Structure 1
Amino acid sequence: MSVVVYKCPHCGASLTFDADRQRWECKFCLGTFDKQTLEAYLASQKETNPDLEKPEEPEQVSAEEYVHEQVDEEFNRNARAYRCPDCGAEIVTDATTAATFCVFCHNPTIIPARLSGEYRPSQVIPFKISKEAAQKAFLNWCKRKPLVPPDFKSKPQLEKITGMYVPFWLYDCSVSATLRANAQKIRRWRSGNYEHTETKYYELYRDGDMSFAGIPADGSSKMEDKTMDLLEPYDYSQMVHFDMSYLSGYLAEKYDVDKEGVWPRVKEKVANDAVAQLMTTAKGYDAVQVTHQEVRIKSRKAHYTLLPVWMLMYKHGDKKYLFAMNGQTGKVVGKLPISIKRAIAWFCGIAAAVFTILFIASGVYYL
């Protein structure tokens, strides 16, 4: 199985995608290239050297040859090893990794076979938030949290923030929805010494056809579904046709949960949204009680795409904490760990301050 490294037209070094400038840059000669320039260069290279279209497949090294024979059975079953085209080192990945880095020369590497056939996405949203911006957002997120462990905000920890293209299924659905409900309008007024209440009762019926486009659900079993949901929404107007060059410099995963596997989650989202749309027509009532609701799916179509996410995993004690950022909009979600030592010190400090204030106040009173 072959791997791909996008090369600089000027010096031949590896290129990475710059989210800030939406260009590909060379860290070696500092050259920058837009998509049109890069595509023109690649096309010219293929014309002068047709063999580039059929690269020789590098030797694949099995997990059994790469690791010690005592490694566990799961690793043997899922690990894959490839040779880096730049330095010849072996790159070890799991079965779902589609883009990664060489641990020796740090060159970004893409595994085309993981992105071909049924695993080739139709579209991608390129990163709009740079790593530096993601690190700054992380520090701002922690700024007013005095109880987090000191090493949680340390420079080595910040360097672990990783940009990843997460596989998503985007569903387009056409539905028909029905809603029945009881509703009341209540009017109160006062006359002399008496207070009057008038309640009018209504039976509501709503029925409508609706279309939904781009309902997302991540297709990776590694990602926490709730966290991925909280990163929404993405701006689909910035989605482009998939090109492997956008992956250069980032990690990427191929899906391991297919479109049928995520459909129950999508179906629930669509049903909730359809009922919510019908409920918007039940305004002007003081109370509404839904007695029956039904959503019928008339058609559905899934699109496989990659969406950008900045991620940082942190282990504190025996728990893991995840910081995640929408790589397009900058929306942040996650949980922060609490340092027990800092919490105790903070509590003692507050208690001492309160005791001092009470002591002074008591002294002034007796004076």
Structure 2
Amino acid sequence: MYECPNCGGDLRFDIASQKLKCNHCESSFDPYEQEKQADAVESTDDEYQVTVFTCPECGAEIESTNLSAAGFCSYCGGAVVFSSRVQKEKRPAKIIPFRVTKEDCRKSYLSMIKRTPYTPKELRDPKYLERFVGFYLPYWSFRSKTEREVHFDGVKRTRRGDYIYVDHYHLSGKLDASYDGVSYDASSSFDDGISQRIAPFSTKNMVDFAPSFLLGFYADTADVPVEIYQNEAYTTIAKDIVRRLLSSQGFQEGGIKVESSATAQIRNEIAGDISSERMMFPIWFLTYRKGDRIAYSVVNGSTGTIYSDLPIDSGRFFRASLLFAIPIFLLLNLILSLSAQKILIFSMLLAVFTIFLYAMEIRAIHRKEKRKDDTGYQWKQKDEAKSAAAEPEDMQGKNMTEEYQRRSQAKNTERVPAKNTHFTEMLGAVFAVLLSALILFWNPVEDLFFYLGSVVSLLSIGITILGVIKKYNNFATRPVPDFFTKKGE
């Protein structure tokens, strides 16, 4: 679709020059001028043509205007052969072109990895870093321009002796507020938690969309409707307005404070002043896969902000811990003189803390596994469940057959989340608490029993700490995604 006018070679968007560049003759072209020539037939003011690639293993879909599919899926990390189809996509209004190069991306990633010494060595492999892929993510961006009279309630409290007098006021004023760039990712495949971590994107380089900006990159599909984020966007803007009203330059000057119900009142006032547009924002995407778990590293393509799932290598952790703990133990043994009973009490307290840490990890894992905080994903699951329930029986049977055929072509990979809610490893710390309590209650005369109890307790705690590391690694990684079936939960 996009060929060099001079030699017919492939064109790519060059980040350094912010122009289209030919891979063969290195000629440069303006993205908008090239679109006029290349897209006269294949796109309109409302649509443009893309090739959609579907991963046969996890069902993820990505788009491209000129690239063939990569040899691996960025979402599940599997080495696959993509199926493809050509379709029309609705044009976004704006796009933020890439500003961060792949080399900048690698440097930022390596700088972050140096500060995390317990990560697996595979994450530092230069060959692994070559798998960073440039993506454009679809976003819904909300803006608000309000110039109107607003009305809300306020109170003023005055103390007189033993009494507090509360005066209620109905406040009104001229509100002049402008908000732009309140954005939410429009892809159910991409985790909302990650998009929030790498936000915000630099909107100063935002330009009108043209398909030529996508040359050399992939794009995620936009499948979450704008209505899903409207309430959240309205509330976010209203809360910020109320926060400013509560500041020293607002209605606080006369001792009047805005009541908590003002957020809902302001939200209703400004709802008609808020509009939305679909936009494309750039990211660099890297996937690490081990067994049935994956880890993502994502770099904001406009600011360089990085987020990464970082598992721990238990071998590295314990080797470093021993090297650190042995000299500290010897030093403390020279300085302090602890009784056998106090050592056992310390072991019991350490076991209690380990149990608490273990339980917190399991709770955090559960929310992440189920993507409880991912608004777009949760909507997609409910929508898929409603659609499945509304289908006639013959259509359901047909869809089940099609899905079975797709799955039978995929590699035999387990996509069930890891069993993260098992408490087996925590029994070590529980045993340490019970043993310590029993010996302290018994209170034997000989110190040997206290020392033996401490040693056994610490070994039991070590088992639980291994469990904590295992649970942390499950928290720091994700189950291999399955976008073929999104059943409501």
Contact 2:122 2:128 in 1 (8 A): yes
Q: Deviations over 1:309-336 (max 9, x none)?
A: 1222333565433222221111223332
2:233 aligns with 266
Structure 1: runs of 5+ lacking an equivalent:
47-51, 56-60, 76-92, 187-198, 363-367
2:91 aligns with 120
Alignment CA distance shift 1:19-1:287 (3 Å) = farther
- Does structure 1 residue 253 correspond to structure 2 residue 220? yes
Alignment CA distance shift 1:33-1:339 (3 Å) = same
1:39 aligns with 33
Task: Specify the SS of the correspondent of 2:315.
Answer: helix
Alignment CA distance shift 1:348-1:54 (3 Å) = closer
**Residue pairs, 1:216-295, within 5 angstroms:** 216-280=183-247, 281=250, 290-293=259-262, 294=265, 295=267
2:67 aligns with 101
Q: CA separation in 2, counterparts of 1:122 and 1:103? A: 26
Alignment CA distance shift 1:160-1:114 (3 Å) = farther
In structure 1, what residue type is equivalent to 2:114? K
- Does structure 1 residue 340 correspond to structure 2 residue 306? no
**Number of aligned residues:** 307
Task: Specify the SS of the correspondent of 1:344.
Answer: helix
1:138 aligns with 109
Task: Specify the SS of the correspondent of 1:268.
Answer: helix
1:78 aligns with none
In structure 2, what residue type is equivalent to 1:230? R
1:170 aligned residue (141, 144, 165) = 141
Task: Specify the SS of the correspondent of 1:160.
Answer: coil
Q: Deviations over 1:161-192 (max 9, x none)?
A: 11111111112235676555557799xxxxxx
Q: CA separation in 2, counterparts of 1:286 and 1:320? A: 54
Contact 1:184 1:285 in 2 (8 A): no
Contact 1:100 1:251 in 2 (8 A): no
Aligned-pair CA distance for 1:42 = 6.6
In structure 2, what residue type is equivalent to 1:333? Y
Alignment CA distance shift 1:349-1:290 (3 Å) = farther
Contact 1:185 1:285 in 2 (8 A): no
Contact 1:9 1:41 in 2 (8 A): no
2:273 aligns with 299
TM-score (norm 2): 0.53
Alignment CA distance shift 1:286-1:338 (3 Å) = farther
Q: CA separation in 1, counterparts of 2:86 and 2:141? A: 22
1:159 aligned residue (123, 130, 143) = 130
Between the aligned residues of both structures, percent identity stands at 23
- Does structure 1 residue 15 correspond to structure 2 residue 11? yes
Q: Deviations over 1:280-339 (max 9, x none)?
A: 226679997844322211233211111111222333565433222221111223332222
Task: Specify the SS of the correspondent of 1:97.
Answer: strand
In structure 1, what residue type is equivalent to 2:133? T
Alignment CA distance shift 1:276-1:13 (3 Å) = same
Where relative contact order (Cα < 8 A, 6+ residues apart) is larger, the structure is 1
Alignment CA distance shift 1:144-1:40 (3 Å) = closer
Q: Higher helix share goes to which structure?
A: 2
- Does structure 1 residue 315 correspond to structure 2 residue 289? yes
2:357 aligns with none
Q: Deviations over 1:36-92 (max 9, x none)?
A: 7x826974x89xxxxx8479xxxxx999xx99xxx79x96xxxxxxxxxxxxxxxxx
Alignment CA distance shift 1:131-1:275 (3 Å) = same
RMSD of aligned alpha carbons: 4.2
**Residue pairs, 1:325-364, within 5 angstroms:** 325-358=299-332
In structure 1, what residue type is equivalent to 2:238? A
Task: Specify the SS of the correspondent of 1:101.
Answer: coil
Q: Deviations over 1:81-121 (max 9, x none)?
A: xxxxxxxxxxxx83x63447314899xxx988443xxx111
Alignment CA distance shift 1:185-1:33 (3 Å) = farther
Contact 1:16 1:24 in 2 (8 A): yes
Aligned-pair CA distance for 1:127 = 0.5
Aligned-pair CA distance for 1:7 = 1.7
Alignment CA distance shift 1:204-1:236 (3 Å) = farther
Alignment CA distance shift 1:204-1:121 (3 Å) = same
Contact 1:311 1:324 in 2 (8 A): yes
Task: Specify the SS of the correspondent of 2:184.
Answer: strand
Task: Specify the SS of the correspondent of 1:121.
Answer: coil
Aligned-pair CA distance for 1:145 = 0.8
Aligned-pair CA distance for 1:152 = 1.4
- Does structure 1 residue 214 correspond to structure 2 residue 181? yes
Q: Deviations over 1:221-256 (max 9, x none)?
A: 111123213332233232111111110011112310
Q: CA separation in 2, counterparts of 1:111 and 1:238? A: 32
Q: Higher strand share goes to which structure?
A: 1
Task: Specify the SS of the correspondent of 1:311.
Answer: strand
Contact 2:52 2:86 in 1 (8 A): no
